[in-house]
Chain A
């Protein structure tokens, strides 16, 4: 009996690695500490009422951002572990299997659990405010999306202490990901973690498309919409077409593993190449999903801090829509070397290069906006400026990679690693940082310390180039991707150590950001700002910071683009201060999204271990939650007009 329990425990928990043991202990201690603090300060009720059940898009956005920062930490630690392993030839810091697990979890976490939620956080905080809406179209669904992401991410994350992490790469190519090559539970954690959070992402896509199409304030037609909102719209269009493909792909892989189906197996008539096609039909558009909103942020930031209207608004919109369409016709450039034939390769090479054109248009528009502007070098602007050269280099190396014959040379080398980090860090991460700094005052009512922010900025940038420039040369020199170690005579040692130093500079930069946030919270009184700290242009700057629960007491009129700016310039009439208010219709909080997503977590956990006694009740729980929602009619309430008036008067400083 005792032996059996011991056997099970050693199967269930990952044992034998001192680093993982350390992580297990510290996770355990942190959990105990959190429970203790919440209980001691009697905060459970508050947490539940104010946050876990909230359907307020601003709170949901904040929760996304907190999770994303935690995931950036986890993904970053993975990255540094890899860099330590690669710093020296013949290093034995990590075991080879451990290395495979780390590059897999690093890739998945950075893209799906760091970039995506950071992006969704910004969507949530900004879009309703920019279009003059009181909420998103479906607040309940919005909360459900968040919790599906949260519990999916948790399911993926526990794999490294329970059961073992996946190790077949961030896209889990078969046959590596099939039972024959990965008999452990890691791949199942991968499948269910991503599947659950992916459903949440799909729902967010639908939610924001409807929000943007149907909830704009009177007068704001599509061509007066702020650029960030446009970028969210384009990104959501890609989401609704790409994510169902991911759902199917993961489901099929799961059927192979769980029921012995033969979709992608090497035997039984399966076709692994089909997986590679399917996963990239999602995977390539996915990179545009994450990068387009960054483009939107840069457009807002450039216009605000150059104090000029965005150059070429129409061409920006057009470029964005073209990119979202074209993103679906390039997927095969990820496997030029896998025998698709010359015609197919030529088609995908050309379609890939074509995307450079609308992207180039955007870069020129940003440059022209800055040209002769009175540029203010605030942190959001610094990130934007740093992005441009970074993205140009990344874009050029990308075009190099899209030349099919050249790809035979660079394919799977460190040249590729350097390229995609250049676009993902320089484009996506820098973009979202710019956005986070830019809208932080709107979220919390105080600004982040600019001095510490500049330290973080410079460290990130220097670290970035020190880390990734050497990798282009390593790639040209033949160092392949996912190399676990190399010998002295390869001559790759010096460049690798430089690269690792760069990685640690970025780690240090992250610490500066954490310090910056902690410092600004501690001294928030000194950093307090009013509604319009940057002298902004769009509607979100016309309401208090942080915004009241209903956002706009009276829906604003938006007869021109950049209304707030035009009002300040006097080119359009200021909107009168309202004297009377009406009651405002709002959604009630609900615990169902949290509970239902937790049920999904347990269902997924049960599938991972083959525990149907857990999965079946959990799925029944999901169904009950859905019915409970369908049967509840008492889902909204009114904020009384007097309350709205009191809130607004307090903000305007009216004495009563």
Chain B
């Protein structure tokens, strides 16, 4: 990859500078990707807001949402965001054990979030007859919440891949950037979830 800054006068440690530049370039691009992801979620939220009353005679939000479960999910996801932060802290201290340990805990928390959410979905479909094809409201609900869940699931696979890479290669400029990027992603999903929680669930039961 080519570089933004002239190479003149960097004979010593010249490789090293390149690497830093690369990695910061990638982080910057990831921020822009997150902007596009914001627009994506924004469109899904807008759709949900337009359609959330069109229940077509099917179950309504009030009948469907079970707040205790949702609050547990929220709590788990917020905690996982915190543990991913601890992983980054460990990385900055150069503490490999702490880094990998917290990442694994984050993965476990994330997986339980996805598990609970799947459970909620299955319950809705099997016991309440509320599937994606029941009404426009439920189409929008499953799509919005499901897209978030899909993002979390992708993050899990990615994080597991990263743990393996960290074990093989240790903390390097490249793996550092990768950890920073995934924790950025993870916090982002947290923020999106806060919106899901308020716009979908809280407003649904209120």
Q: Could you list which residues of chain A lie within 8 angstroms of chain B, going by C-beta atoms?
A: 128, 133-135, 137-139, 202, 205-207, 209-210, 213-218, 240-241, 243-245, 247-249, 251-252, 255-256, 259-263, 265, 267-271, 274, 278, 550-551, 554-555, 582, 584-587, 623, 627, 630-631, 633, 636
Contacts of B4 in A (CB 8 A): 133, 214-216
Q: Which 8 A-B pairs have the closest CB atoms?
A: A134-B2, A269-B54, A269-B136, A260-B133, A261-B139, A269-B56, A244-B39, A248-B43
Q: A210-B28, A240-B35, A243-B36 are in contact. Are A263 and B165 (CB under 8 A)?
A: no
Q: Which of B7, B44, B158 contacts A630 (CB 8 A)?
A: B158
Residues of B with C-beta under 8 A to A630: 158, 161-162, 165, 178
Given contacts A247-B40, A248-B40, A261-B143, contact A268 B133 (CB under 8 A): yes
Q: Do A269 and B1 contact each other (CB < 8 Å), given the known contacts A137-B25, A210-B25, A248-B44? A: no
Q: How far does the alpha carbon of A216 sit from the alpha carbon of B3 in the complex, in Å?
A: 9
Nearest-neighbour CB distance to chain A for B7, whole angstroms, equals: 5
Which residues of chain B are within 8 angstroms of A210 by Cβ–Cβ distance? 25, 28-29, 32
**How far in angstroms is the closest Cβ of chain A from B102?**
20
CB nearest to B133 among chain A residues? A260
Query: Which residues from chain B contact A255 at a C-beta distance below 8 Å?
Result: 132, 139, 143
Residues in chain B near residue A240, CB distance under 8 A:
32, 35-36, 39
Q: A555 to B6, Cβ gap below 8 A?
A: yes
For A587, the chain B residues whose CB sits under 8 A away are 1
> Does residue B157 face the partner (Cβ distance < 8 Å to A)?
yes
Q: Given A248-B47, A269-B54, answer yes or no on A550-B2 (Cβ-Cβ < 8 Å).
A: yes
Query: For the complex, is B75 an interface residue (Cβ under 8 Å from A)?
Result: no
With a CB–CB cut-off of 8 A, which chain B residues contact A631? 161, 164-165
Q: Which of B35, B39, B164 has the most CB of A within 10 A?
A: B39
Least Cβ distance of B9 to chain A in Å?
10
Chain B residue nearest to A240 (CB atoms) is: B36
Evaluate contact between B51 and A271: CB separation under 8 angstroms: yes
**CB neighbours of B35 from chain A (8 A):** 240-241
Interface centre among A241, A243, A248, A260 (most CB of B within 10 A): A248
CB-defined A-B contacts under 8 Å, sample of 6: A139-B1, A210-B29, A213-B28, A259-B132, A268-B133, A627-B157
Other-chain residue from B1, B47, B164 in contact with A636 (beta carbon distance below 8 A):
B1
Inter-chain contact A214/B133, CB cutoff 8 Å: no
Is the CB of B5 closer than 8 A to any CB of chain A? yes
Within 8 Å CB of A586, what residues of B? Answer: 1-2
11 extra interchain contacts, Cβ-Cβ under 8 A, other than A252-B143, A268-B56, A269-B56?
Answer: A134-B1, A210-B25, A248-B44, A261-B142, A261-B143, A263-B136, A269-B135, A555-B3, A585-B1, A585-B3, A630-B161
Q: Chain B contact residues: over half helix, strand or loop, or mixed?
A: helix
The interface residues of chain A lying within 8 Å CB-to-CB of B29 are 137-138, 206-207, 210
Given A215-B4, A551-B2, also A263-B135 (CB < 8 A): no
Chain B residues with CB under 8 Å of chain A are 1-7, 18, 25-26, 28-29, 32-33, 35-37, 39-40, 43-44, 47, 50-51, 54-56, 132-137, 139-140, 142-143, 157-158, 161-162, 164-165, 169, 174, 178
Q: Are A263 and B51 in contact (CB under 8 A)?
A: yes
Tell me, in angstroms, the Cα distance from A210 to B35 when the chains sit together.
Answer: 13
User: Are A261 and B133 touching (Cβ within 8 A)?
Assistant: yes
A269-B39 in contact given A252-B143, A260-B132, A274-B50 (Cβ < 8 Å):
no
Residues of A within 8 A of B165 (CB): 630-631
Taken together as a complex, chains A and B put the C-alpha atoms of A134 and B162 apart, in Å, by 30
CB distance from B54 to the nearest CB of A (A): 3
With A137-B29, A214-B28: A268-B132 Cβ-Cβ less than 8 Å: no
B1–A633 CB distance below 8 A: no
A262 x B43 contact (CB < 8 A): no
Is B25 a contact partner of A278 (Cβ separation < 8 A)? no
Q: Which of A138, A218, A261, A554 contacts B132 (CB 8 A)?
A: A261
With a cutoff of 8 Å between Cβ atoms, the chain B residues found around residue A267 in the complex are 56
Q: Nearest Cβ distance between residue B44 and chain A, in whole angstroms?
A: 6
Whether B40 contacts A244 by the Cβ 8 Å rule is yes
Q: How far is the CB of B108 from chain A (nearest CB, A)?
A: 20
Are A206 and B33 in contact, CB atoms less than 8 angstroms apart?
yes
- Asked whether A263 lies within 8 Å of B47 as measured between CB atoms, the reply is yes
A247, B33: Cα distance in complex, Å: 14
Given A586-B2, A623-B157: A214 touches B25 (CB 8 Å cut-off): yes
- Report yes or no: B18 in contact with A209, Cβ–Cβ below 8 A: no
Residues of A within 8 A of B7 (CB): 555, 582
Contact of B56 among A134, A206, A262 (CB under 8 A): A262
Instruction: Give which listed residue, B32, B40, B54, B133, contacts A259 with CB less than 8 A.
Output: B133
Q: Within 8 Å CB of B140, what residues of A? A: 263
User: Which residues from chain B contact A206 at a C-beta distance below 8 Å?
Assistant: 29, 32-33, 36
Task: Tell me whether B1 and A271 are in contact (CB under 8 A).
Answer: no
Q: Complex: how many Å from CA A267 to CA B162?
A: 46
**CB-based contact B47/A269 at 8 Å:** no
> Cβ of B55 and Cβ of A269 under 8 Å apart?
yes
Q: With both chains docked as a complex, state the minimum distance between the C-beta of B96 and any C-beta of chain A, in angstroms.
A: 18
Q: How far is the CB of B49 from chain A (nearest CB, A)?
A: 11
List, in ascending order, chain B residues with CB within 8 A of A262's CB.
Answer: 54, 56, 133, 135-136, 139
Which chain A positions have C-beta within 8 A of B162?
Answer: 630
With A and B bound together, what is the CA distance between A490 and B161 in angstroms?
A: 68
Report B63 CB to chain A, min CB distance, Å: 16
User: How far does the alpha carbon of A406 sit from the alpha carbon of B34 in the complex, in Å?
Assistant: 41
Pick from B29, B51, B140, B142 the residue with the most CB of A within 10 Å: B29
